[in-house]
Amino acid sequence: MPPETKTARWKVFLGYAVFAVVAFVFGLFVTFPYDAIRGRIVTEAAQAGLAVRIGSLRPGLAGVTATQVRVSKPPQPLSAEVVAALASGEGTVPGALELGEPLLFDSVAVRPTLFPPGVAVRASAMGGTLTASVGGLGDVKVHAEADGLKASGGNLPAFTGMDMEGEINGVLALTLPKGKNTADADLSQADGELTLDTKGLVIKGGKVSLPMGGGQVVPMDLPRVALGALTGRIQFEKGLGTVQTLRLKSEDLEALATGTLKLGKKLEYSEPAMDVNVKLDPDFQKRLGILGAGVTILPPDKKDPSFRAARLAGFLNRPTFLPRR
């Protein structure tokens, strides 16, 4: 009679472990509170003046991933009915006319972090990657990085109103004094740095509204403009950003900026106070037509008369670009 075989103890333990993991993952997918998380994201965004549409949500072992995410700035505050429709993902949702042109994100993954305690976000969008982290035991530390974003990617051309190509890179690192909670962190008192590094920027066409002072905004059709490389570094101390370097250079034009950027409690209310020197290639200036003629209104720079001198002021959401006195 053959001896009775006995399953090795490690195989039994392995079988239980595999079963537990499979059961946990299955239960996670079945019981995950998709609706509650979608509703929280949409509601918080609406309070900040943004409309968020989410294609789908799925859980992971370390966080949550949303796909086909669209974020826009509505021209008017959202009604309770629209917020409810966005939060549920059901019903009729207004289009771009009511919600604004959106920025598209293929996927957005959110996970908690321990060192420091906070939240980390990683998004695939516009052919590149956006990463961000927010956290801190005392002051709030914000770190955001754009890597290899394509100016022609996603819905960026429709969002900006310009048909563009080129690569966008940048890093923002800020420390904000903390209020009663993270949401009360004061951007207007932030310390940190912004760096920009873009390559091969070209505007192939589109429309732009140019601020001309006195609240007047003039819409213009854009010709092809080679912007080239935009590089910059702005250092912030207690909300006041000092431009260390900010330069745009290509075969069509060159622009240099100096001065400050005062952060507001909301980013759109930040105040630039910058002297901008602009020099256009003569042939390019002719191709610009009325836009090129407008540059001749600017006075020559006192230190280098080959540049025209302007002043950028106002607010980020409503800037003014006037001749420098």
Per-residue pLDDT tens over the stretch 235-266: 999 999 999 999 999 999 999 999 999 999 88
64 found inside a domain: yes
Could you give the CA distance from residue 190 to residue 175 in angstroms, rounded to a whole number?
5
Same domain, 272 and 136: yes
Same domain, 279 and 141: yes
119 found inside a domain: no
User: Using CA of residue 164, residue 313, residue 257, residue 133, what is the dihedral sign?
Assistant: negative
Phi, psi of 292 (to 5 degrees): -65, -40
Same domain, 38 and 83: yes
194 found inside a domain: yes
Q: How many CA atoms lie within 13 A of 48 on its CB side?
A: 17
Could you give the CA distance from residue 171 to residue 145 in angstroms, rounded to a whole number?
4
Same domain, 174 and 317: yes
Total number of domains constituting the chain: 2
Give residue 182's pLDDT.
52
Provide the mean pLDDT of the chain.
84
107 found inside a domain: no
Give residue 31's pLDDT.
47
* Helices marked H in 117-177: 156-160
Whole-prediction pTM value? 0.79
Q: For residue 318, name the pLDDT band (cuts at 50, 70, 90).
A: confident
Same domain, 91 and 187: no
Same domain, 202 and 66: no
84 found inside a domain: yes
Same domain, 210 and 153: yes
134 found inside a domain: yes
Same domain, 16 and 147: no
30 found inside a domain: yes
* Identity of residue 209: S
315 found inside a domain: yes
Same domain, 47 and 176: no
Is the pLDDT at 316 greater than 80, yes or no? yes
Same domain, 96 and 141: no
Residue span of the structural domain in which 39 resides: 7-100
User: Using CA of residue 151, residue 203, residue 209, residue 267, what is the dihedral sign?
Assistant: positive
Q: For residue 13, name the pLDDT band (cuts at 50, 70, 90).
A: low
User: 27: closest CA among 55, 59, 56, 65?
Assistant: 59
Last residue of a domain, one of 81, 100, 119: 100
Q: Which long-range contacts (CB under 8 A, 24 or more apart) does 149-155 make?
A: 149/125, 150/126, 151/126, 151/201, 153/125, 153/126, 153/127, 153/128, 154/103, 154/104, 154/105, 154/106, 154/125, 154/126, 154/127, 155/70, 155/101, 155/102, 155/103, 155/104
Cβ(76)–Cβ(110) under 8 Å?
no
